[in-house]
Structure 1
Amino acid sequence: MKKYFKLFEECYIVSGKDKYTLYNVLTGNIYEIDEKRGKFCLLSENNMDIENACNNSGLLLSEAKIFIKEMESATLGMMSDFPIAMDKLNILPKWTEKMFFKQSHGINKATIGMDYDCSNSCNFCGNDAVTNRYKCWSCNSTSRSPIADDVAFRIIDIISERDCKELYLKEGDLLSDWGKTLRIVDYALNRGIEKVLLNIIHPIDDMTIINDMRVRNISLVLQRYIEKKKQIELIMSESRKYEGLDVTYILLTELDNKETIMQVAQNISQMYSYKLLIDFMIPNKLENVSKEYFDIERTIGKIDLVSYSIRQFHNECFYKNCYFDKEGNVYPCAGLKNRKYGDIDSMPETFRSENLGNYWNMSLSKKQECKECSMRFACNNCESLNYTLTGSHDRNVLCVKTII
């Protein structure tokens, strides 16, 4: 009697040039599998019986039995007496792409560059010789002329009509004109934006402002540029004020100050439940970036259902996200301000599939060096960093398999 093996609906097998990778999108675990076992899984997923799957993959039947027991023990799949029809978990099933009538393109998250004045003198601000990975989160403005209220309101009208749920305001010191910031925040909340995040580059000393944030359930992205060890105590002291708020710290520094920033991150994580993001300022040419930086950034983490679903066909950073500057120009992200693809005066053209697809569909599966790698749905990637360091989007400089 024929026997069959099937991975559970949360498990995906992805083929590569010489290896296969198994993704469990519920636990986030990732497993590299050799070619024979990977091919066996792939054939089994297509409802080929175990014996024929062994014959076609080169895996011995005795090896397959051991492998299946290991898979069952790890709760990754099951054996059965008949073929199993099972739809894989996916928030973006393939059949939606074949619909004749498609839904209009929505926006999940929008970022607005506010361009407020700023009294900080960060070494990297306005310095074209350096760059950083998380420009989408950090302040990168050198302008001192803030966005007009009517432009901000118009942008919010546009994104709210496209069901935007999250709005991020950054660039400059948003506390320097808190009344203006609050007007824009309130307008967004009244238009149905569910979550507003503010990039705050200074400690908040005014408890009235903190209370304004609590009442409106504003999320904070506290950007801190770490230069000296004495800043550790200052950051720890200010952190107490924000308890009860949704807080993310983005800690920036140079690579040679790595130990200090790691100590800051450790201290914060031990005392508070705040989220942490560490970013390093590096030279803007690939050949000048140290191996130490890539040793830190080239990592493989856990991957969830949402990330895997998007990464199969899209760029996770660009998909349903966009950045507006203070003039109303639209870009794929804040790190690619030389890649304008529309403006608020040409919304129908800006949000056409042909226009958005150039960026939304920029997945690693489209890159020549990545499309045959089974780790392509787990690998880190930043197109802003790719373009800044290499001058193109052809490479993934954060590829975990790259050897410097």
Structure 2
Amino acid sequence: MWGVYMKNKYFKLNKDYILVIGKENKGLIYDLKNGNMIELEKTWTDVLVQLENGIKIENVKSSYTYDVIEKIKKETMGEFYDNFIYEEKTRKGMILPLEGMQKLPPIIHKCYIQMPTSCNLNCEFCFLLKSYPCFVCSKNSNVNSIDSKAYKTFLNNLLNLNVHSIIFYGGDLLSYINTENLLDICLNSEKKPEIWILLHWRHIRNNKILEKEIYKKINFYITFSASDIFDGENEKNFSLFMKTLNYMKEYTKKFELTFVQDSEEISEFKIKDMLDIIINKYKTKIYISKLLDENNKSFMNHLFMRVSPKIFWNNYYYHPCLNGTITLNAEGKILPCPSMENENALKEIFLENKIDKYWKLHLGKIEKCKNCIYRFGCFECRAIEAKTSQRLNGKSLCKKGE
């Protein structure tokens, strides 16, 4: 239909659509307008590469040229031009040049602070390798913990920066004598960051402390697992868990959940039914954390996201999870994330730009990811990859980039 019209014309993707080429001429279009990632046949990729490089339509070497253009035009993803033009792709905000300008104060998206609190629940999954480890409760295994004065000093310095969320974690936080004092410091800050507490649901079950006024301003990440909700055929624990969530809904600001799949004896149907009940009743987010066997590489450590301009360009320059994250553990060490405890502690993290080693570790720097067409729309956990591969930039739990 476009045959005559196409003569002497150029054709290219519109500014909301970005073509990325990978190994073996694999291609993918990032639809920044609708959030889709569209994988292409190699023949289509070849046509679009030529068109995007300024080859006239009539000179494109492919028998698929007209089919490709007709489909792209029909989906309003591309346009004809009399001359080949350069058009800046859609961006979120302005990307500053990396050199030659004064650096802005760092933006901290998430700061994890580990409390010196123990836990008596003895969950079997506590120290096991698992997905979404930073959203699963954990306990402090160190005896040399810093004192409350050190926490207050760190918080006061942190709150002078641009911090979005502060997440307190580590054991039974509600039993720690200084928890509310630290929450007060955060809540009284002019920056007003979002405050979260991460803990196991059993630490809340019969705890009336949440009825205090301060907790109405606090968000919670709550961990629960298959083994403690389904005690054999006895569903009593599930009933208690739902009562706990009712209590949370009444007395706290907001909560999100992490479900640890730590039992293969519970059917997937039963688990799905339970999660659907929770989501429908509480309209909350649930992270699914799976236990990982270092000898079993079948787990796929990737999560494809709806790709907005913000997500695409963040992943272009930075790591999808580590960027903007720092951690203070109970020993007083500054770490890139709660689950990268084996990394060297960062002292002058901003003065010496040490944190850039982690924040700017975009997937193009990861061995198996650098040629993957999905790397700008992928979320991965670098902590579990570093542990399983024994290298910061290693990758063993994904086959997409192969």
TM-score exceeds 0.5: yes
Q: Is the 8 A contact 1:68 1:79 kept in 2?
A: no
Q: Quick one: structure 1 residues 377 and 5, their matched pair in 2 at CA, closer, same or farther if it must change by over 3 Å?
A: same
Structure 2 counterpart of 1:316, one-letter code: P
Residues 6 and 44, structure 1, Cα contact 8 Å, conserved in 2: yes
Separation in 1, partners of 2:139, 2:93: 35
C-alpha distance 400-24 of structure 1, shift in aligned 2 (>3 A): farther
Matching residue of 2:260: 252
In 2, are the aligned partners of 1:255 and 1:282 still within 8 Å (CA)? no
Alpha-carbon distance, 1:48 to partner: 4.3
What amino acid sits opposite 1:390 in the alignment? S
Aligned equivalent of 1:355: 354
Matches of 1:94 and 1:195, distance apart in 2:
26
Q: 1:24-82 deviations in whole A, cap 9, x for unaligned?
A: 13322111113343243344345444334x2xxx323xx32322232233332233334
- Which residue is equivalent to 2:58? 51
Name the counterpart of 1:65: 66
User: Which of residues 130, 139, 149 in structure 2 aligns to 1:141?
Assistant: 139
Could you say what secondary structure the match of 2:174 adopts?
A: coil
Equivalence for 1:346: none
- Aligned with residue 232 of structure 1, among 228, 238, 245: 238
Aligned residue among 290, 315, 318 for 2:322: 318
Deviations 1:211-249 (A, max 9, x none): 535642x21101113315223322223222233732210
Structure 2 counterparts to residues 104-123 of structure 1, below 5 A = 104-123=105-124
Structure 1 stretch 112-121 or stretch 234-243: which is displaced more?
234-243
Are the equivalent residues in 1 in contact too, given 2:305–2:377 (CA < 8 A)?
yes
Candidates 247, 268, 276, aligned match of 1:266: 276
* 240-249 vs 154-163, greater mean Cα deviation: 240-249
Further displaced range: 386-395 or 272-281: 386-395
Task: Provide the rounded CA distance (Å) in 2 between the counterparts of 1:46 and 1:212.
Answer: 61
1:16 is displaced (CA, Å) by: 0.5
CA shift, 1:257, in A, is 4.6
8 Å CA contact retained: 1:139, 1:170? yes
Q: What's 2:169 paired with?
A: 170
What SS is found at the alignment partner of 1:158? Answer: helix
Unaligned segments of structure 1, at least 5 residues: 344-348
CA change 1:200–1:152 in 2 (3 A) is same
Q: 1:281 aligns with which of 291, 306, 311?
A: 291
1:327 corresponds in structure 2 to 331
Equivalent position amino acid for 2:338 in 1: A
Q: Kindly report which structure 2 residues correspond to 1:2-401, keeping only aligned pairs within 5 A, or say none.
A: 2-18=8-24, 19-52=26-59, 54=60, 58-60=61-63, 63-91=64-92, 95-125=96-126, 127=127, 130-143=128-141, 148-177=147-176, 180-191=178-189, 192-201=191-200, 202-206=203-207, 209-210=210-211, 212=213, 215-216=216-217, 218-228=218-228, 229=230, 230=235, 231-243=237-249, 245-257=253-265, 259=268, 261-283=271-293, 285=294, 287=295, 289=296, 291=298, 294=299, 300-343=304-347, 349-352=348-351, 354-401=353-400
SS of residue matched to 1:317: coil
Matched position secondary structure for 1:97: coil
**Identity of aligned pairs, percent?**
21
Tell which deviates more after alignment, 89-98 or 383-392.
89-98
Q: Report how far residue 7 of structure 1 moved.
A: 2.1
Q: Which runs of 5+ in 2 are unaligned?
A: 1-6
* Letter aligned with residue 375 of structure 1: Y
Q: Is the 8 A contact 2:346 2:355 kept in 1?
A: no
Given that 1:167 and 1:196 are in contact with CA atoms closer than 8 Å, whether structure 2 keeps it comes out as: yes
Judge conservation of contact 1:254–1:282 (CA < 8 Å) in 2: no
Aligned length: 381
CA distance in structure 2 between the partners assigned to 1:281 and 1:257 by the alignment: 14
Report Cα offsets for 1:76-110 as digits up to 9, x if no partner.
22333344443222337555324432224332221
- 1:389 deviates by 1.6
Report the CA distance between 1:122 and its aligned residue.
0.8
Distance 2:142 2:99 in 1: 47
Superposed displacement of residue 323, structure 1: 0.9
Partner letter of residue 280 of structure 2? Q
What is the deviation of 1:20?
0.8
Alpha-carbon distance in structure 2 between the residues aligned to 1:307 and 1:395: 23
Compute the TM-score of the two structures, normalised by the length of structure 1: 0.84
After superposition, give the CA deviation of every residue in 1:153-210 in whole Å (9 maximum; x if it has no partner): 2222222222112111111111113x62222112012222420111131235455624
Amino acid at match of 1:180: N
Contact 1:299 1:380 in 2 (8 A): yes
Secondary structure at the aligned position of 2:111 is classed as strand
Counterparts of 1:303 and 1:213 in 2: how far apart (Å)? Answer: 37
Q: Is the 8 A contact 1:25 1:305 kept in 2?
A: yes
Q: Structure 1 308/98 Cα, relative in aligned 2: closer, same or farther at 3 Å?
A: same
Name the CA distance, whole Å, in 1 between partners of 2:239 and 2:73. 50
RMSD over aligned Cα, in angstroms? 2.7
TM-score (norm 2): 0.84
Closer, same or farther: CA 299–103 of 1 in aligned 2, 3 Å: closer
Q: CA deviation at 1:300?
A: 3.5
Residue 365 of structure 1, CA deviation:
0.8
CA deviation vs aligned residue, 1:276-335 (integer Å, no higher than 9, x gap) = 00112233x2x2x373xx26x555343333222111122121111111112331111111
Moved more, 13-22 or 262-271: 262-271
